[in-house]
Structure 1
Amino acid sequence: MNDQLEPSEPSSDGLGVHGDFAVWAPRAHTVRVRTGGTDHPMERGAGGWWHARVSGAGPGSDYAYLLDDEPDPLPDPRSRHQPHGVHGPSRVVDHGAHDWADGAWAGRPLPGGIVYELHVGTFTAEGTLTAAIGHLPDLAGLGVTHVQLMPLNAFDGTHGWGYDGVLWSAVHEPYGGPDALKAFVDAAHAHGLAVLLDVVLNHLGPSGAYLPRFGPYFRGENEWGPSLNLDGPDSDHVRRYALDCALGWLDHYHLDGLRLDAVHALRENRATPLLPELSAEVEALATHLNRPLTLIAESDRNDPATVLPREAGGLGMDAQWSDDLHHALHTALTGEDHGYYADFADPDALPTTLARVFWHAGTYSSFRGRTHGAPVDTTRVPGHRFLAYLSTHDQIGNRARGDRMGEHVPPGLLVVGAALVLCSPYTPMIFMGEEWAARTPWPFFASFTDPDLGEGVRQGRRREFAALGWRAEDVPDPLDPATRDSAVLDRTERDSGEHALVLETYRSLIALRRAEPDLSDPRLDRFRVRTAHGGRTLVLERGQLRVLCNLGEGPAEIELDAAPVELLAANGHPRISGTTVGVPGEFFAVVRV
C-alpha cells in the first residue's frame, strides 16, 4: 500500500505491533514514547521521523508521545484506536489478527447501485455499529447495494455528526472501535451490501486537534478552519499521511469505497493534485484485492472534471454528489425558494437539471453572486457518475430544526420525488429513514467536553440561523443530549398508514429499476425530459418506458407517442385512453409504450 514512501518514512502497517514506534515530528528537539507507565527516548532519523523499539509492547498496549519539554502526552497522529477518547493515549492494534469471514466477497461496482446514507449514532437508540448490524437485512430487503457510513473517525465527546474528527485512522470508540467496524463490514458483505465510508481530509475538529503540535500539517485556512498543507514545505509527508489514512480504511477494514467530504476545500498548487494521486493508489489497491473500490467526491464546484478519468485530465473520481439535482427537486416539491434555493425556483430548473446534471453550468448563481460551474458532456459522461437524492445529512441537518421533507410534503408528492430519483439515469441515494417518510428530525448535535467550546457552538448556530430568518428559540440546543435523542430513527412508524405506503413504494421502485434495463441505463444522451402544465407535469423518457409524474394538486392529461401499459403506480392508477393518459394530482406511474 505504501510503494511511494520515502526511505525515511516507515510503513504504517506494523505500527507498534512488534514494539516499534515511529512518529513524524520534524521540529521537535526531543521525543519520548510513554507506554507501560515508562517514558522511552526516541532517536531522530531522516526526514523528521523519530523511532524507538520498546520491549514488551505490542497489540493492546497504550502509548502516547511527549514532545520536547511539554508535560502532557499526546495521542499518535496515526492512531488506530483511542479507547480513552481523543485526549487520551492511543492503543496498538494488529489489523492482521482479525479473522475475516468475507473471503468470498467480490465487491460491488457503483454503476447500477443504490446508496443508503447512514449515521451510526442515530441509526439505532444504542448508537453503535453492533446495534446497526441487526438492521442490515432490512436494507438488503429494500434493495440497497451500498451502505455509506457517515464519518467514524475519532472525535471529542460521545455523539456528533463525525465531521469534527481529529484522528483520521481511529474508529470512534462510542461506536464500538475498530473491532466493531470489522464485524459490521463482515456482516454487510454477508448480506451482499458494499460499505462506503465518509472521510474528512479537509479540516480538523476544534477539540483534540493535536496534529499541528507534531508538524506543519496545516497551511492557510478554509471555511471550517486550518487547511491541509498539501503544497507547502514538508507537504510531501502531509500528503502521504492523508493518503495512508484514506487507504488504510479500505485495506484494514475491507471497505468498498470512500465518500470524500468537501474536496473543494482541499487547496493546493501542484502539478498533480491529491485526488488523482489518491485515485491512482486506490486503483492499484483494487487491482491487488481483485475487487472494485469506489471514490465518491462531494464538490461544490459543479466541475465535470471531478469525475473524468485521470488520463483525460480529470481528477479520477468514480462519482460525485450533485446538489443541484437535490435543490431542483426540493424546490419543486416544497415550493421553498429562499437562500440557495432561489435560483431553482425557475420552472425550467427541474427538467433541465434532470437532463444535464447541473443547473449552474457556467451560468449566474445569485447565491454566490457570480457565474458558477461548467456543463457536463452528456454524450461522453454516464449518469452513474452523479448521485441523485431527495435528502442528505447536510440538507436536513443544516435546517434550523433538522426537519425532514415529509413534514412539509404529503406522501403522494414524496413518492413522486422518489420516482424522479429512482427512475433517473443517476446513482440514487437515500438518507436513512427517508424510505418510510420518517418524521424524526435530524438536527445538528455535538457533545464537546469543553463547556466554553460547547457554548461557542451553541451561540454560533443561533447566529447562523438568525441570519437566515429563523428565530433563536426554533434552533435546538446542539449540546443538549435530547437533541441527539430526537434524531434516533423510530422504526415503529414503518408498519402503519402513510409510512407503510411510502416504504412499499420505495421497495417497488427499486425492484423495478433492477428488473428494467431501461431504468438503470446511465446514458444521458438517451435520456429525455418533457414537461407540461407549467412544469408541474414531467415525463421521463427511458427507452421504451415512460415515467409520468404529476407534481400538481389537480389531475392532468399527458399525451404519449404510443398507447401505454402500466407497470407501476402508487396510490391509484392512471386512466389510459389510447395515447392519452389521465393522472391524478401528486401521482406517478411507470408505463411501457
Structure 2
Amino acid sequence: MKIGSNYLGNGQCEFRVWAPFRDSVAVHIVSPQDQVIPLQKDEWGYWQETVKADPGTLYVYQLDGSLERPDPASHYQPEGVHGSSQVVDHHFDWTDNSWQGIPLKDLIIYELHVGTFTPEGTFESIIPRLSYLQDLGITAIEIMPVAQFPGSRNWGYDGVYVYGVQESYGGPAGLKKLVDACHQAGIAVILDVVYNHLGPEGNYLWAYGPYFTDQYRTPWGNAVNFDGAYSNQVRNFFIQNALYWLDKYHIDALRVDAIHAIYDMSAQPFLQELGDAVANFNRTTPVQRYVIAESDLNDVRVIKPREDGGFGHDAQWCDDFHHILHTLLTGELSGYYEDFGKIEQLAVALREGYIYSGQYSSFRKRNHGNSAADRPAEQFVVCIQNHDQIGNRLIGDRLSTLVDFQGLKVAAATVLLSPYVPMLFMGEEYGEEAPFQYFVSHSDPDLIEGVRTGRAEEFKAFGWDNAPDPQGTKVFEQSKLQWEKIEQDNYAVLRRWYKRLIQLRKETPALAKLDRQNLNVSSLSSEKVIVIHRTAGDSQAIGLINFAHDAVTVSPQIPPGNFSKVIDSADKEWMGEGSQLSQQLQAGQSLTLAPLSFALYAQ
C-alpha cells in the first residue's frame, strides 16, 4: 500500500495518509487553487481519495476540520520542514537500463556528505567529480541521509520527512540525476536511511497517529513504535519508504542507521520484515539491492539469513575493526576505545569480524557480542574513518591530524587489503585535514541550546571540553573538502597510494576473493606486527604490517614458494625513508620492517 501523494498521470493524484484516531481528514490544496477535499477512511485508519492535482501542487492535510499539517510521507518540501508538501511526478528519463549493479563483494565504498563534498553542496555538483572517483577505483558512493531536515546545514540524521529529498541539495530531480550519472559511470549508490528516530524540529508524525511509544527511550527521545498497538501501520510507513528509494530513485543499497536504537520485542522483528521486503523486491528486478546495517551490538543475527532466525541483512558496519585500528595508530584509549589497543585484537578482527564475541567489555561492564566467524567476509564493511568517528570528536579532527604520513599509509593498506568490504570517508584518500564537524541549522532557540548542551555531555567520557557551536555557519564551512590540495605534495602521493592499493585489491585474485577460509593471520605482540597470508587458487599474497614506531626485525612464518615484493610503504616512491626489505621473500627469512610500514609480497 503506497502512502503519501502518488501522482497517477493525466492530472490525477492519489492521496493516502494514516490517521486512525481522527474524525475527519481532508487534503487542503494550497496552490495553484485553494480547495479542501474530504478523504475517505478505511478499516485500518487510512484516509484516501484520488483527486485532480498536477505535479507542483502544494498541499497540507486538514485534521478534524482545523489542524493543518504537512504530509508525513511528503516526497518534497520546497518551503522547508514547516511548509506545504508538494506533489511530485516521479517520471524521469533514466539512462541506466543496462545497469547490472555491483556485487557486494566488489564494493569499494566512498562515504560522502552532499553539503560539504563540493563547494556548491548539491547533488548535481557531485556529478563532475565522478570521474575522479572512477580514477581512484571507487565502485560505490554512500550518501549520508537526504531526508528533508530543518534549515540548510545538517548531517541528515535530523530528517523529519523520510520520503522527502532535501530541498537545498536539489530535491527529487537532483538526486535522480546523480544516481543516473553514477550508474553511467559504473558506480553504485548507497543511501543512508534513519528509521530509529525523527529529528526534533518539523516532526509532525505525532499529529497523525501512534508512531512513537514511551515504552522505550532512545538518545533522541521516545522510540518509534515498532512493537506496540498499531505498529503494523508504523512498520508499513518505513517498509514502504525503503522500497520507495529502491523503486523511484534506483538506489542500490540502503545503509540503515543505528539499528541498535530500534527497540522491538516482537516475535517477527521489524528489521527482519525489512530484510524480507527487500528480498521480495529483488525478485522483481534484475539488479540486486542490499541492506547494510549499522549496529554496535556485535550480534550475528543481523546478518544471518532469515530462515536461520536472522534479520537477513546483507552486511553491517564493523565497529570493532575501526576501533582496534584507531587505537593502534593513535594510542587513544578513552571512552569506548578502552576495550581496544592490543595487536592481537586486530588479528581477531581480520579472522572473525567481531573482536568481542561474548567476552567481557570493560567499557560496557558486561559481556558483549556473539560469534560471526562463520559468516562470509563480504558481510562486513570496514573503515578507518567515517562521519561518526570523525564528527563525534570534539573538533571533528580527521586521522590525518592525529597520525603522521606513514601511519596514514598503514591505515589505508590495512583496510583496503583486508578480506572485507572497504569504505573510505570523503577526502581520506588524499589526507584531507579540514575537520568534519557536527552542524545544524535549527530555528528554535531552546532546541539549539539543547543541542549545544547535549554535545558537551557526550564529550565528557573522552575528557574533552569547549565544544564548537554546532549551530554556527563556521563549523559547516570549515568542514568542506579542500579540493585544491589533491595534486599537491604528500596529498598527491597518498592519493596515488590509495589508487594503487585499490588496483591491487581488484587485480590480485588472493586479495579480490573475500574468503576467510583461505586466510591466515598471525600477530607478533612484542613487535606490534601483523602478518596476513591470503590465497585463492594459485594466487598467494602476504601482507606485513608494522604498527611500531621503530624498525623491527622479525622471522614470520612464510609458506613455501618464492614471493616478490609488490608494494612497500617505506620505499621513497611513497615518501618513505627507504626500505630494507629484499625484493624476494622465502620461508625462514628474517625481515627488518621500517617503522609504521606496510609491505605486500605476492606469488
Q: Tell me the TM-score normalized by structure 1.
A: 0.94
Question: Which residue does the alignment assign to 1:158?
Answer: 152
Distance 1:535 1:418 in 2: 20
* Residue type of the alignment partner of 2:62: L
Matched, 1:505 2:497: yes
CA contact (8 A) 2:7 2:13 kept: no
Distance 1:592 1:202 in 2: 45
CA apart distance, 1:300 = 1.4
1:8-51 C-alpha deviation (Å, 9 max, x unpaired): x7697547961332221111112221113222233333321223
Question: Which residue does the alignment assign to 2:576?
Answer: none
Cα separation, partners in 2 of 1:276 and 1:466, compared to 1, 3 Å:
closer
Question: Which residue does the alignment assign to 2:593?
Answer: 583
* Residue type of the alignment partner of 1:549: I
CA contact (8 A) 1:574 1:589 kept: no
CA contact (8 A) 1:424 1:520 kept: no
Question: Which residue does the alignment assign to 1:218?
Answer: 212
CA contact (8 A) 1:196 1:259 kept: yes
CA contact (8 A) 1:306 1:314 kept: yes
CA contact (8 A) 1:259 1:297 kept: yes
Q: SS at the partner of 1:134?
A: helix
Question: Which residue does the alignment assign to 1:496?
Answer: 488
Matched, 1:199 2:193: yes
Cα separation, partners in 2 of 1:10 and 1:262, compared to 1, 3 Å:
closer
Distance 2:458 2:412 in 1: 31
Distance 1:491 1:144 in 2: 17
CA contact (8 A) 1:347 1:535 kept: no
Q: 1:240-279 maps to which residues of 2 (within 5 A)? A: 240-279=236-275
Distance 1:188 1:347 in 2: 39
Q: Which range is displaced more, 118-127 or 492-501?
A: 492-501
Structure 2: any 5+ residue segments left out of the alignment? 572-578
Q: 1:60-139 maps to which residues of 2 (within 5 A)? A: 60-71=56-67, 73-95=68-90, 97-139=91-133
Question: Which residue does the alignment assign to 2:39?
Answer: 42
1:84-122 C-alpha deviation (Å, 9 max, x unpaired): 111111101121x21111111111111122111111011
* Residue type of the alignment partner of 2:86: R
Q: SS at the partner of 1:541?
A: strand
1:459-508 C-alpha deviation (Å, 9 max, x unpaired): 22123324531122xx2110110110000000112111221111111000
CA contact (8 A) 2:3 2:73 kept: no
Cα separation, partners in 2 of 1:322 and 1:467, compared to 1, 3 Å:
closer
Distance 1:333 1:147 in 2: 26
Question: Which residue does the alignment assign to 1:429?
Answer: 423
Structure 1: any 5+ residue segments left out of the alignment? none
2:180 to 161, 186, 189: 186
Distance 1:43 1:205 in 2: 30
Distance 1:469 1:523 in 2: 40
Distance 1:571 1:580 in 2: 17
2:307 to 311, 314, 317: 311
CA contact (8 A) 1:569 1:590 kept: yes
* Residue type of the alignment partner of 1:264: H
CA contact (8 A) 1:393 1:442 kept: yes
CA apart distance, 1:348 = 2.2
Cα separation, partners in 2 of 1:70 and 1:467, compared to 1, 3 Å:
farther
Q: SS at the partner of 2:62?
A: strand
CA apart distance, 1:438 = 0.6
Distance 1:13 1:106 in 2: 28
Q: 1:230-241 maps to which residues of 2 (within 5 A)? A: 230-241=226-237
1:413-463 C-alpha deviation (Å, 9 max, x unpaired): 111111111111111110111111110101111001222211221222123
* Residue type of the alignment partner of 1:501: V
1:149-177 C-alpha deviation (Å, 9 max, x unpaired): 00010111101000011110010100100
Question: Which residue does the alignment assign to 1:470?
Answer: 464
After superposing on structure 2, the runs of 4+ consecutive aligned residues of structure 1 that deviate more than 4 Å are: 9-17
Distance 1:288 1:428 in 2: 29
Cα separation, partners in 2 of 1:499 and 1:10, compared to 1, 3 Å:
closer
Question: Which residue does the alignment assign to 1:564?
Answer: 563
Question: Which residue does the alignment assign to 1:418?
Answer: 412
Q: SS at the partner of 2:490?
A: helix
1:534-576 C-alpha deviation (Å, 9 max, x unpaired): 2521111112210111111222233334553111122404422
Distance 1:549 1:236 in 2: 51
Distance 2:49 2:280 in 1: 31
Distance 2:188 2:175 in 1: 13
* Residue type of the alignment partner of 1:425: P
Q: Which range is displaced more, 9-18 or 211-220?
A: 9-18
Question: Which residue does the alignment assign to 1:456?
Answer: 450
CA contact (8 A) 1:303 1:373 kept: yes
Question: Which residue does the alignment assign to 1:514?
Answer: 506
Q: Tell me the TM-score normalized by structure 2.
A: 0.93
Cα separation, partners in 2 of 1:467 and 1:553, compared to 1, 3 Å:
closer
Q: SS at the partner of 1:171?
A: coil
Q: Which range is displaced more, 424-433 or 447-456?
A: 447-456
1:35-93 C-alpha deviation (Å, 9 max, x unpaired): 132222333333212233433x121101101212544x211111111111111111011
CA contact (8 A) 1:537 1:548 kept: yes
Distance 1:258 1:298 in 2: 10
1:528 to 496, 505, 520: 520
Q: 1:2-13 maps to which residues of 2 (within 5 A)? A: 5=1, 13=6
Q: Which range is displaced more, 531-540 or 494-503?
A: 531-540
Aligned length: 579
Q: SS at the partner of 1:314?
A: coil
Q: SS at the partner of 2:69?
A: coil
1:353-372 C-alpha deviation (Å, 9 max, x unpaired): 22221111101111111111
2:530 to 509, 513, 538: 538
1:285 to 268, 281, 287: 281
Q: Which range is displaced more, 147-156 or 548-557?
A: 548-557
CA RMSD across the alignment: 1.7
CA contact (8 A) 2:4 2:72 kept: no
Distance 2:446 2:218 in 1: 23
Distance 1:199 1:259 in 2: 6
Q: SS at the partner of 2:548?
A: coil
Distance 1:320 1:192 in 2: 23
CA contact (8 A) 1:279 1:316 kept: yes
* Residue type of the alignment partner of 2:600: V
Distance 1:325 1:467 in 2: 21
CA apart distance, 1:399 = 0.3
Matched, 1:51 2:57: no
Distance 1:19 1:535 in 2: 68
CA contact (8 A) 1:15 1:21 kept: no
Q: Which range is displaced more, 350-359 or 302-311?
A: 350-359
Question: Which residue does the alignment assign to 1:31?
Answer: 25
Q: Which range is displaced more, 132-141 or 317-326?
A: 132-141
